[in-house]
Amino acid sequence: MKLSPSAHADTFCRDHLPPDEQWPTIRFDLPELQYPERLNCAATLLDEVVAAHGPDRPCLITPDETWSYGDLLARSNQVAHVLTEDFGLVPGQRVLLRGPNNPWLVACWFGVVKAGCVAVTTMPLLRSSELAPLVELIRPTLLLCDHRFETELATAAPDLPLVLYGGSDADLATRCAAKPGSFSNVDTAADDVVLMAMTSGTTGTPKVTMHFHRDLLVVADTFGRHLLKAEPTDVFTGTPPLGFAYGVCGLMALPMSIGAAVVLLERATPAEFADAVAEFGVTVLFTTPTAYRAILRDGKADRLASLRRSVSAGEHLPKAVWDEFFEKTGVRIIDSIGSTEMLNFFVGAADDDIRPGSTGKALPGYQADVIGPDGGPVPDGIPGHLATIGPIGCLYLADPRQGTYVRDGWNITGDSYIRDADGYFWYQGRSDDIIVSSGYNIAPTEIEHALDQHPDVVECAVVGKPDTDRGMIVHAAVVLRDGVPGDAAEISELQAFMKQRIAPYKYPRSIEFVDALPRTMSGKVQRFRLRAATSA
């Protein structure tokens, strides 16, 4: 049942939800998921934390400053006053945010939410040609932008009011200084849209997903409560931008639901993140397998001594990376899978439940299955499409691909998995990545896992390459360690190495050496670009 929107609200979001027949099944099977009909998630994540722990509790930490929870609350309230009083925003209107991970971006986000509006956080790296179609799609009323990243956004939306933040002389700071530090949060419904997020585009054209106020609480009450088990004294940090679902979960919803502190770095290499862990005593780290691999490669594992929890998401975590990280740090990486469409993680494992190489089991509150082309479940041990049902589901904004992602109530992630008899899920590749060569189905990840074992290989990605005789052959794009020549002798060396570790029909008959793998801004390998290059 869809609840009534707030009085005098802009109904754009509700009017553009998918038709009822394309909605996913939504279930609230756990007692902790029984939310009230009216709630504003900013109250839970911010106001209630200040009431419980006091205003002086450290909240947002950067190399230059620390904001307490009281600081963030006051500034967020001031932002909400600016939105409603200076610009006349009403609940349901969209506000586009642009900037790197820093305290002012978080204050803007909470100010938008407190005002009952919808936050659309974008990456500062996006160009005007990428921002313009997003602006056209979401129809924002106002733009809030870090003062260093104004040009591209102003070009993309020249007719919209743009307020700059960051720095004491920026327009937003001046406006906020004239506003009180208290604000009565708008009385929103639990299923009012609170944020829109762009998918990171591993398949080409990004999509925009919509999420409700209650969805932010689901993150804490499922993954946070049952797997992460963080404590108020923990210090979080991570690489995902706040414009991505992974960032919203790992650097806002999860730490702030318990009053923990968050170290925000605007831009840093994995090695610099490792140094930040040591400098700030970070205990909980959210990042990607690529970053974990880079930290190990750069010899920075000793900088992670303060960690007690590490989370991996965004792409598949190879067993070799898990094993090496555990060997050098003693920390067991919590592998998990989520999606922008689902906002939250829905499969994962922690502590003694971890089986390295597996993504884990369905999280409490979620049902997960592996289904075949007919939409029915396949037997354990047989690859198929990963599907899930839970308290959050895919809701695209005005996108015909809703009917592809949601089928018969299931959210179909686009990942190929095998489930074993114990309920653990084992990643096989993206569903459109499976290589069919001479009638054999070959999972790219199996080839990648084997190639990763060679000492000359820093990282690799495998796709199918069209072939007249076999239909497809296995093609590997390989990044070599420094000093190794990428010549014919190295190709022969890698192919011989592979034939000793996997069935000969699976070895990469085509190998190219590249300086770097093509990736999205969230770090996922863009295999569609590799496929396009092999087909050219």
Structure tokens at 176: 């906020």
Question: Which of 44, 40, 56, 51 has the alpha carbon at shortest distance from 261?
Answer: 56
Question: Which of 147, 103, 143, 454 has the alpha carbon at shortest distance from 264?
Answer: 103
For domain 43-56+69-188, give the CATH number: 3.40.50.980
pTM score, two decimals? Answer: 0.84
Structure tokens at 64: 């230059």
Domain ranges of the chain: 43-56+69-188, 434-535
d(CA 536, CA 533): 5
Structure tokens at 174: 């001046």
Q: What is the pLDDT of residue 204?
A: 45
Q: What is the pLDDT of residue 203?
A: 44
Q: HSE on the CB side for 214, CA within 13 Å? A: 20
Cβ-based neighbours of 295, under 8 Å, separated by 6 or more: 270, 271, 273, 274, 301, 303, 304
Q: What is the pLDDT of residue 207?
A: 87
Name the DSSP letter for residue 423: S
Q: What is the pLDDT of residue 202?
A: 42
Q: What are the pLDDT tens digits along the chain (536 aa)?
A: 344 445 567 899 999 999 999 999 999 999 999 999 999 999 999 999 999 999 999 999 999 999 999 999 999 999 999 999 999 999 999 999 999 999 999 999 999 999 999 999 998 877 888 889 899 999 999 999 999 999 999 999 999 999 999 866 779 999 999 999 999 999 999 999 999 998 854 444 568 999 999 999 999 999 999 999 999 999 999 998 999 899 999 999 999 999 999 999 998 889 999 999 999 999 999 998 888 988 998 999 999 999 999 999 987 888 989 999 999 999 999 999 999 999 999 999 999 999 999 999 999 999 999 999 888 999 999 999 999 999 999 999 989 989 999 999 999 998 899 999 999 999 887 777 778 776 566 778 889 988 999 999 999 999 999 887 777 899 999 999 999 999 999 999 999 999 888 877 789 999 999 999 998 876 778 888 998 888 76
Q: For residue 353, count other CB atoms closer than 10 A to its CB.
A: 14
Kindly report the backbone phi and psi dihedral angles of residue 532, in degrees, each rounded to the nearest multiple of 5, phi listed first.
-60, -40
Cβ-based neighbours of 248, under 8 Å, separated by 6 or more: 121, 195, 197, 216, 219, 242, 343
Kindly report the backbone phi and psi dihedral angles of residue 156, in degrees, each rounded to the nearest multiple of 5, phi listed first.
-75, -30
Q: What is the pLDDT of residue 85?
A: 97
Q: Do domains 43-56+69-188 and 434-535 have the same CATH topology?
A: no
Kindly report the backbone phi and psi dihedral angles of residue 173, in degrees, each rounded to the nearest multiple of 5, phi listed first.
-60, -40
Superfamily of domain 434-535: ANL, C-terminal domain (3.30.300.30)
